[in-house]
Structure 1
Amino acid sequence: MLERYELEAFLTLAEELHFGRTAERLGVSTGRISQTVKKLERRVGTPLFARTSRSVRLTPVGRTLYEDLLPAYRQLRAAVERATAAGRGVLGGLRAGFVTPWGGDLLTAAADALLAAHPGCEVTVREVPLDGGVRALLDGTLDVQLATLPVREPGLTTGPVVLRDDRVLLLPAAHPLAGRPSLGPEDLAGLPLIVPTGTHPGYWLDHHYPRRTPSGAPVGRGPAAATWQEVLSHVTAGRGVAPGAARGAR
């Protein structure tokens, strides 16, 4: 029988495929996750993950175990959450996610307003990593997310636009385009764009990280990044450029 920390470590690593992000989500050290997974693999008798210095992926046995365990884990967690809510007298819970700092400010203010009007509710606000896309909505980890459009996923409902902003291009300070007062889509020609890793759908990537300019000139691809800090590091090192929001520049 799996213990709770083994189950959570395995399922989270199967979703993240990254030991550091798994440790961050569970609030433990990377070494603890590695030890837990190795212990579980010894118990099962076969590797559950194939690891290299650059990647982590599920083995066929690991994939089967993940698909078998996930529904049962969700049922168990939902039952505990319902019992906890009933014990606290909470009438309902809402899990909300954001990607950008200003998105976090908006959601926190909205949560405060909701709780003031309905003190019997419980609201959890958490950050979604750059490479997370809307995966947390699709797998039921979040109930609502302040996401960057477009979102056209089956089963998800898109609400009203709550924030608009100008687009900017993150460039090294010494880049020839950095001194321009403004840039247009054609200026992306030949530039290597830093693209987020993760599960973003193709239509979303094409919208924000196009492979061609409107006139058809090719746009390059730079290194991939899982966090905004990685994006900034790549830009600073001159490895590529990245689109962003004006609020991010400020």
Structure 2
Amino acid sequence: MERREIEIFLTVAEELHFGRSAERLHVSVAMVSKSVKKLERAVGAPLFDRTSRRVALTPIGERLHADVEPAYRQILEGFARAVAAGRGVDGVLRVGFLGTAVGQFVLQVAHAFHTRYPACEVEIVESRYTDGIGLLHDDAADVLLLAAPASDPGLVQSPVLFTEAPVLAVSARHPFARRASVTVDDLARDKVLRPRGVPDELDALSVPPQTPGGRVVERGPEFATVQEMLALVGAGRGVFPVPTHASRYDARPDVAYVPITDGPRFEWRLIWRRAAETQRILAFCRTATDLAATTDSPLLAG
């Protein structure tokens, strides 16, 4: 099995479209189809269910992808480390972040990164909710630390660096402020603020359209920044789920933070543009992964 065949299989498994895979790999659709068929003959079973309307992985294809993708990425990263060691990592890397605590973690990674690669400087760029991944596409940042997966096929994401349980930011005068915890169903008992400009699929990761009990979640005013969100919450204009670290880093007298017992955890990753990937980005990602592994909750570490 050749490396190109593995690359084609993994790309089709990600794109689930032969045309987009061919365009991304700069090869013909015929070559993609031929390579997949050759691989299926070698395996002895179909890896994709293909119709004129859709492409989907078969159970065997899903298992092969789960087995091969991490190993293939590890091989590529191993060669990347060797190239970085041979060529050196220098220049400037711009890293975007959202929130005070996240900025502090980025600074810790930047310090460790500069120790490893003294010829490379790190510039940190504060983001807003409304920026989303726009900083990458506008070439205002090379890599972002976000609590959302990369939904754009043109983006690459690191493994999850760390996770955090959600808490609900409510007014200190809100009835929830006197409770030990709330549930996702409780979101339907008030208006939930809406981050301006965030795509629906990403917004739904922390605020579902309906609760598990089937009640519709009503949305409140929109906000663009963390401080705007906290001001609206403190004024009683709505509630909003945030990561646990907010209860420490964004403490204020008019806002209370109540644990959400059954809410989805926030998963923090580094995200960057595939077309703009550099040795600097890969080296920074490795440094962040190493640092995150030293503590269960990097953002809460004292």
Query: Under TM normalisation by the shorter chain, which class is it?
Result: 0.5 to 0.7
Selected match of 1:205 from 199, 203, 206: 203
Query: How far off is 1:196 after superposition?
Result: 1.0
Q: Which residue of 2 aligns with 1:9?
A: none
Equivalent residues, number: 160
Q: For the residues of structure 2 that align with 1:185 and 1:174, how far apart are their CA atoms?
A: 20
Shift, 1:174, TM fit: 1.9
- The CA deviation at 1:215 is 2.2
C-alpha displacement at 1:218, in angstroms? 0.6
Can you list the C-alpha shifts for 1:35-61, whole angstroms capped at 9, x where unaligned? xxxxxxxxxxxxxxxxxxxxxxxxxxx
**2:114 maps to 1:115:** yes
1:165-244 pair list within 5 angstroms: 165-198=164-197, 200-244=198-242
SS at match of 2:179: coil
1:92-123 CA distances to partner (integer Å, 9 max, x unpaired)? 22110110212111111111111112111121
Q: Deviations over 1:132-170 (max 9, x none)?
A: 111112232211111012331121111021221111111
**Aligned to 1:170, what secondary structure does the other structure show?**
strand
Q: Which residue of 2 aligns with 1:22?
A: none
1:147 aligned to 2:146?
yes
Match of 2:51 in 1: none
Alpha-carbon contact 1:93-1:123 (below 8 Å) kept = yes
> Counterparts of 1:37-186 in structure 2 under 5 Å?
91-186=90-185
Are the equivalent residues in 2 in contact too, given 1:151–1:204 (CA < 8 A)? no
Kept in 1: contact 2:149–2:157 (CA 8 A): no
1:134 and 1:147 in contact (8 A); partners too: no
Per the alignment, residue 45 of structure 2 pairs with: none
Q: CA RMSD in A?
A: 1.5
Deviation at 1:182, TM superposition (A): 1.1
Question: Does the 8 A contact of 2:125 with 2:141 survive in 1?
Answer: no
Kindly name which structure, 1 or 2, has the bigger radius of gyration based on alpha carbons. 2
Partner of 1:246: 244
C-alpha distance in 1, partners of 2:239/2:201? Answer: 20
- Deviation above 3 Å: which 4+ runs of structure 1? none
Question: Matched residues in 2 for 1:110 and 1:223: separation?
Answer: 35
Partner SS state of residue 174, structure 1: coil
For 2:170, give the aligned amino acid. Answer: L
Q: Secondary structure at the match of 1:93?
A: strand
The one-character-per-residue Cα deviations of 1:57-84 (angstroms, maximum 9, x if unpaired) are xxxxxxxxxxxxxxxxxxxxxxxxxxxx
Distance 1:184 1:168 in 2: 10
Equivalent position amino acid for 2:222 in 1: A
Shift of 1:206: 1.3
8 Å CA contact retained: 1:194, 1:242: yes
* Larger RCO, structure (CA 8 Å, separation 6 or more): 2
Once residues 211 and 233 of structure 1 are traced to their aligned partners in structure 2, the CA distance between those partners, rounded to angstroms, is 24
What is the aligned-residue identity percentage? 38
Instruction: Tell me by how many angstroms 1:192 deviates.
Output: 0.6
How far off its partner does 1:209 sit? 2.2
